[in-house]
Amino acid sequence: MKPSYDSSSDAELIALLRDEDHNAFTEIYRRFWDKIFVLAFNRLKDQAEAEEIVQEVFLSLWKRRETLQVQYSLNTYLSTAVKYQIINRQSRNYLKTQSDLSLASLPEQGIDSTQLWFSERELKRQLDYHVEQLPEKCRLVFKLSRELYLSNAEIAQQMGVTEKAVEAHITRALKVLKGKLHFGIPLISYLLSK
C-alpha cells in the first residue's frame, strides 16, 4: 500500500527518506520550504541569498538521508540547519572581507595564495588547540554544537543537563576562544566549518 505522504508524521517521512523515497523528500520540501525560507530571509534580508541557503539545507538533507538523526521535529532540525548555514556563510564573507582588507594593505607585489592558505591553516590549528584546552563538559558541549550541529535541546537531552546549561557552556567556550585567539566569533565559526 502506497503511503499517504501529506498525512505522514515527521518520523514516518524521515523513515521513508532513509529508504531513498523521493516522494517523502518532496513532501518534506513542500511542507517546510516556506517556513525555513522566511527564517532565512528575516535574517539575511536578501531573497536570492535566502533561497540559496534553503536549497543548500535541502541538498544536505538529501545527501545525509541515510544517517539522518532527528530527535525532535523536522521543523526544529531544518530551522537549526538554516541558522548554521547562515552563520557559515556570514563567516566566509567576514573572512573574505578581512582577507581583502589585508591584501589592500600589502605592497604592490601582492601576496602568495599559499601564504594565505597557511595563515588560515595556522589559525585553525590554534583554534583546535584552544578548544581542546576547554574544561571537559564545556569542550564536549561546544563540539556537539559546532562540529556535529546538534541543537541545544538535543545536547541537553544527550548530556542530561538543561538547555540553559548548554547555552552557558557554549557562551563560555566562545568567550574563552575569543580571548585566547583575539579574533571575532564569525571567524571562529568559519574556521570550525573547515
**pLDDT of amino acid 174:** 84
Judgement on whether residues 119 and 99 belong to the same structural domain of the protein? no
Judgement on whether residues 70 and 4 belong to the same structural domain of the protein? yes
Specify the CATH number for the domain of residue 185. 1.10.10.10
**pLDDT of amino acid 30:** 92
pTM above 0.75, yes or no: no
**pLDDT of amino acid 106:** 44
Judgement on whether residues 150 and 186 belong to the same structural domain of the protein? yes
Specify the CATH number for the domain of residue 73. 1.10.1740.10
- C-alpha 129/C-alpha 146 separation (Å) is 15
Judgement on whether residues 97 and 119 belong to the same structural domain of the protein? no
- C-alpha 190/C-alpha 123 separation (Å) is 11
Our count of domains for the chain comes to 2
Judgement on whether residues 127 and 88 belong to the same structural domain of the protein? no
Backbone phi, then psi, for 120, in 5-degree steps?
Answer: -65, -40
**pLDDT of amino acid 105:** 47
Judgement on whether residues 160 and 143 belong to the same structural domain of the protein? yes
Judgement on whether residues 173 and 87 belong to the same structural domain of the protein? no
**pLDDT of amino acid 71:** 66
Judgement on whether residues 100 and 170 belong to the same structural domain of the protein? no
Judgement on whether residues 178 and 138 belong to the same structural domain of the protein? yes
| Residue at which a domain ends, from 85, 108, 131 | 108
Judgement on whether residues 176 and 141 belong to the same structural domain of the protein? yes
Judgement on whether residues 76 and 34 belong to the same structural domain of the protein? yes
Judgement on whether residues 54 and 87 belong to the same structural domain of the protein? yes
Summarize the chain as % helix, strand, coil (round to 5): 80, 0, 20
What is the residue-wise DSSP string for 7-69?
G--HHHHHHHHHTT-HHHHHHHHHHHHHHHHHHHHHHH--HHHHHHHHHHHHHHHHHTGGG--
Domain that holds residue 57: 1-108
Report residues of the chain scoring pLDDT below 70. 1-3, 71-72, 88, 90-121, 182-194
Cell of 153: 535541546
